[in-house]
Amino acid sequence: MTPQEASSITESLCHRAPVIPVLVVDDLDTAQPLAAALVAGGLTVLEVTLRTPVALSVIREMAQVPGGIVGAGTVLTPEDAENAKAAGAQFAVSPGATDKLLTACEDIGLPILPGAATATEAMALLERGYSSQKFFPAEASGGAAMLKSLASPLPQILFCPTGGISHDNAHEYLVLPNVACVGGSWVAPRELVQTGHWGGITDLAAAASRLR
């Protein structure tokens, strides 16, 4: 898979809904109902971060939910990428990018949304062929104002900003011409997941799906 092919796929995923849920799941039993609740609310592209011992199993479970497209987040190494694909992840997301990681994803055919936080990092990824990128950590790296500044000199790059984004400030990003969607965890609050309040999560997802 070429970087250009990967970017085409990730760009299409980013355009499916204004928000990609960023999920940290500790309890495997919640995987399928959580995914179903989010999909029911209109958020069909789900990012499961590789931050818990059950993350790969969560990806396997969520991949069985009709209508959902499940990817792996916090993919840091070639081994992470290989394990994620084997678990059924259809895409990868990384907070940054290394040559080893990008090469591994290209070799195994796993589309990756690589992270950048500066103009230099974004240009290096663009030079390699990645026109769809994650902007992380968004709020700590200048927020919507930073992305607005990058839009003029780097109009070829489409971003999915993540990090510190909530329902209250998502609109500031989504109105920018170089933002396709945002990533956020607010649509799946830990307390609602732990109590199995799936209707509440569907409501939050539905509200997020209407953002623009």
User: How big is the chain, counted in residues?
Assistant: 212
Query: Of 47, 61, 85, 106, which residue is the catalytic one?
Result: 47
Query: Of 61, 85, 106, 134, which residue is the catalytic one?
Result: 134
Cα 30 to Cα 170: distance, rounded to the nearest angstrom:
26
Question: Which contiguous run of DSSP H or E holds residue 58?
Answer: helix 55-62
Name the token pair of 165.
């984004």
pLDDT at 149: 98
What residue has token string 């059950």?
A: 54
Give the start-end residues of each E strand in 18-157: 19-23, 45-49, 69-73, 92-93, 112-113, 115-116, 132-135
pLDDT at 174: 98
pLDDT at 112: 98
Q: Are 44 and 205 in contact (CB under 8 A)?
A: no
pLDDT at 101: 98
Q: Which portions of the chain are predicted below pLDDT 70?
A: none
**47 classed as catalytic:** yes
pLDDT at 212: 79
Cα 170 to Cα 183: distance, rounded to the nearest angstrom:
9
pLDDT at 69: 98
pLDDT at 153: 97
Name the token pair of 18.
């204004």
Over residues 57-111, the pLDDT tens digits come to 999 999 999 999 999 999 999 999 999 999 999 999 999 999 999 999 999 999 9
